[in-house]
Amino acid sequence: MSGMSAYFIRRLMLVPITFFAITFMVYAILRVVPGGPIEQAETAMKMAALRGEGGGGSSGGAVSEGDLQLDAKGLEELEEYYALDRPILVGYLQWLGLWQRSFKTRVPAATMEKHGEAFKPLKDLFAKQGERERELDELLAPKGQVVFRGRLYRTLSDQAVEKLKADEKSFYRRAEELRGGGYGKLDELLAFLETKGHTYANGKYCAVFTETELAEDKQYTEKALSLIAAIRAAGDKREQIAAERGFEINEVGLIYKVEKRLSGIVQLDFGRSYTHNEPVLGLIGSKMEISIQFGLIGYLLTWLVCVPLGVYKAIKHHSFFDTASSFVVFLGYSMPGFVVCMLLLVGVAVNVDWLPLGGYKPDNIEQLTHLQALLGRVRHMLIPITGYMIGSFATMTILMKNSLLENLGADYVRTAFAKGLPEKRVIFVHALRNSLIPITAGIGHAVGILFAGSFLIEKVCNIPGMGLMGYEAVVQRDYPIILATLVIGVAIRLFGNILSDIIWAMIDPRIRFGVSS
């Protein structure tokens, strides 16, 4: 095996290691920071309630805190869907598709009718459990009591809570802090309250019944405990059926087929966005097409402008053109691309009719001819493309100039002049080829920009590409999109760097990676 082949094999072997390290670190951070999917559900419920309250609805009443609580089943389903009920490493492996996870598929009505007898035991079990739960609710509701983890609790009155807060200030101060943390702190709140024989349900603090209190009404207690035991036994039986036969029934009586399989990034399953409610891979495909258009055109125009400009500046070194163009180039370099876009939008686009203020295509493009549609796209691209170009304009121009000046002073160039070769041939055939080598070092980074887009430029110019989608995902804590864009970005950068090495070797025959001198 040649040294070059061994070098690239080593580079390729480092790709998965680097990929796993980066994605695991980001996944772990996203798991522990606040603002996850459960907190998003909390916010959405509160906003919906506030909109209903402020919209002149018929209820007219204030929304209580208890109305904004996810029930235990809903919380459990959210945690299971986003693997929040599992250790970080297991959740990460499930997200990658290297660890099995459960999937539920609703059994069609036709199948239910055809195999009714097979599902009858599960339906009967569900019906009996529902009856027991209704009996228990009717029994406990008049006395303001609740059940938590198989134990009876009484709801504390406001006066009792105030008294307890006064007696145990530090304990209830901590409880209030956890309660204010929303769903993300719910498990911690319940575990903390349980240490003192308390819990939190329906927006109220509750205290567990002592043995003495339970003995005061023995008949009532025995009936309540028997119903609790029956409900728990039915739940255990349903779990047994789900484990043995792969079917379970939800709280409204719908039967689902439960199966475990591998599904994740390796299987190209990036999940569903919970802000767009669409498959993430489809969203990325539609947005990436737009970002590639702007990124590719901007990068090609940068090469077409900067390389000839750098060559001409090297030839006219220390001339007035060299000095004046350097001033203009560095002036543009001092301003970020999105700032240039903002200045062009505010200073130019608002004053002319033919330059749009945003978007990437005319709104009525379906009604235009091919030529009109092309010209409309060009007009929409002018300002964003300028922003894309300005960021690398100075770097590539000055790098091209300095690299060419260095090669023009090399021995092989002086030898070529001494042999009587024409100046243009020496510059554009011999010196220019070697001068392009440093510029290729940025190809890996440029490939990432082509696919990922620039979120600041897309935000300013209102371009619905990958950059804008990634920015909105971060703001809205849409973790499936954040992680999907991370995966694609990391993969593109890693393989882009290898592509840079390959291009280096193709341009300069002297470069042979892995070969000792």
90 and 201 within one domain: no
Domain count, the chain: 3
Q: What are the phi and psi torsion angles at 437 (to 5°)?
A: -60, -50
Looking at residue 66, its pLDDT comes to 42
Choosing from 199, 227, 259, the residue where a domain stops is: 259
Query: Could you tell me the residue range of the domain that residue 309 belongs to?
Result: 280-507
**Domain contains 7:** no
Q: Given this model, what pLDDT does residue 48 score?
A: 56
Does one domain contain both 294 and 249?
A: no
User: Within this chain, do residues 233 and 318 fall inside the same structural domain, yes or no?
Assistant: no
Residue that is last in its domain, among 206, 224, 259? 259
The verdict on residue 4 lying in a domain is no
5 is a domain residue: no
Query: Could you read off the pLDDT of 69-95 as tens digits, one per residue?
Result: 455 555 666 677 667 778 889 989 998
Sign of CA dihedral 487, 488, 492, 495: positive
pLDDT of residue 64: 41
Whether 395 maps to a domain, the answer reads yes
Last residue in a domain, options 198, 228, 259 = 259
Residue 295 and residue 241 share a domain: no
The answer on 354 and 464 residing in a single domain is yes
pLDDT of res. 55: 40
Asked whether residue 185 falls in the same domain as residue 333, the answer is no
Phi, psi of 148 (to 5 degrees): -140, 120
**Secondary structure of residue 463 in the 3-state scheme:** coil
CATH (domain of 438): 1.10.3720.10
291 and 430 co-located in one domain: yes
How confident is the model at residue 319, as a pLDDT? 92
Domain shared by 232 and 288, yes or no:
no
- The confidence score (pLDDT) of residue 390 equals 83
In a domain, 308, yes or no: yes
pTM for this entry: 0.72
DSSP for 357-420 reads SS-SS-TTGGGS-HHHHHHHHHHHHHHHHHHHHHHHHHHHHHHHHHHHHHHHTSHHHHHHHHTT
Under 8 Å CB-to-CB from 130, ≥6 apart: which residues?
none
pLDDT for the residue numbered 313: 92
Residue at 250 is within a domain: yes
Q: Kindly state whether residues 343 and 197 are assigned to the same domain.
A: no
* Domain shared by 376 and 311, yes or no: yes
Residue 425 lies in a domain: yes
Residues in the chain with pLDDT < 70? 1-3, 35-78, 81-82, 182-184, 441-442, 444-445, 448-453, 507-517
Domain shared by 130 and 171, yes or no: yes
Q: Is residue 269 part of a domain?
A: no
Is 199 in the same domain as 91?
A: no
pLDDT score, position 508? 67
Q: What is the pLDDT of residue 56?
A: 40
